[in-house]
């Protein structure tokens, strides 16, 4: 353990900063709500569906425990709300072309800078994990990432990890507050306001299948709604 500190933007947060862990999400499983963990590196970092992540020195590897208030169904699509708050943070840092690749990847241009992993670890809490490339070079460990990944330092004057951690935790707290107030409906409305222009998209599904069409926005349940070439409208489950 390096340090234990209170995050000034929200006095309720307690942040543990560690040198190395297998997974910050896993460390959070034993902590109370409004606790968070940041590690210099993860040895077994993971994304959705258990996909491996390269999580070396210089990146932001952070997870937080949030109270799950009310039925779990009311928190469906929470990653979309967290994504909105993180986009606002990136835009405040001067990353003008930051965007979210539905449902959980943070992008700079056409390359991935980070990703979210949200898990319900126990009754009453959610664990929100964020991995983001800041000054690290993940393609040195996995050369295939050279064509698909990027890092924040290539797009803006990236802040120090401690300062960025504070901003991220403030974004998590704002997402929690706004989800309680407006639920998924308000989140969908904000996303659809961002996606006003028609956009041709291609979605890669499990089993190697692909579907394509014009993006119409999000449905009420947070799924992606597309207009097919034959005029049919269909949804893609997140």
pLDDT band at 5 (very low <50, low <70, confident <90, very high): very low
* Burial of 237 from C-beta contacts in 10 A (0-12 / 13-18 / 19+): exposed
Confidence label for 48 from pLDDT (cuts 50, 70 and 90): low
pLDDT tens-digit readout, 49-105 = 556 777 788 999 999 999 998 888 889 899 999 999 999 999 999 998 899 988 889
| pLDDT mean over 163-183 | 96
Residue 141: CB atoms within 10 Å = 11
pLDDT single digits (tens) 106-145:
999 999 999 999 998 777 899 999 999 999 999 988 899 8
Across 164-190, average pLDDT: 96
Q: Is the pLDDT confidence value at 9 over 90?
A: no
The b-or-e profile of 27-61 (16+ CB within 10 A means b, else e) is bbeebeebbbbbbbbbeebbeeeeeebbbbebbbb
User: Which is more confidently placed, 122 or 179?
Assistant: 179
**What SS3 string covers 103-120?**
CCEEEECCEEEEEEEEEE
Flag whether pLDDT at 164 surpasses 70: yes
Q: What is residue 175's predicted lDDT score, i.e. its pLDDT?
A: 97
Chain centroid to CA 230: how far? 34
Of 34-48, 156-170, 201-215, which one has max mean pLDDT? 156-170
Which residues have a Cβ under 8 Å from the Cβ of 44 and sit 6 or more positions away? Answer: 22, 23
Q: What per-residue confidence (pLDDT) applies to 56?
A: 82
Q: Which pLDDT value is given to residue 3?
A: 40
């Amino acid at each position: 353990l390096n340090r234990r500190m209170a995050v000034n933007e929200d006095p309720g947060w307690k942040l543990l900063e560690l040198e190395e862990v297998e997974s910050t999400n896993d460390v959070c499983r034993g902590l109370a709500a409004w606790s968070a963990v940041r590690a210099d590196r993860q040895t077994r970092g993971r994304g959705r569906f258990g996909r491996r992540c390269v999580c070396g020195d210089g990146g932001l590897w952070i997870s937080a425990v949030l109270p799950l208030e009310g039925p779990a169904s009311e928190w469906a699509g929470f990653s979309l709300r967290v994504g909105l708050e993180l986009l606002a943070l990136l835009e405040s840092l001067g990353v003008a072309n930051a965007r979210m690749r539905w449902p959980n990847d943070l992008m700079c241009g056409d390359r991935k800078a980070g990703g979210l992993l949200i898990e319900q670890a126990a009754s009453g809490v959610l664990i929100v994990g964020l991995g983001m490339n800041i000054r690290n070079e993940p393609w040195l460990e996995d050369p295939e990432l050279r064509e698909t990944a990027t890092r924040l330092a290539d797009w803006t004057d990236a802040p120090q990890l401690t300062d960025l951690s504070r901003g991220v935790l403030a974004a998590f707290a704002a997402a929690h507050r706004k989800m309680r107030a407006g639920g998924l409906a308000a989140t969908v409305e904000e996303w659809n306001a961002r996606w006003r222009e028609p956009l041709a998209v291609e979605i890669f599904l499990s089993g190697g299948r692909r579907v394509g069409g014009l993006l119409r926005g999000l449905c009420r349940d947070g799924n992606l709604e597309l207009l097919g070439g034959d005029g049919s409208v269909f949804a893609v489950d997140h």
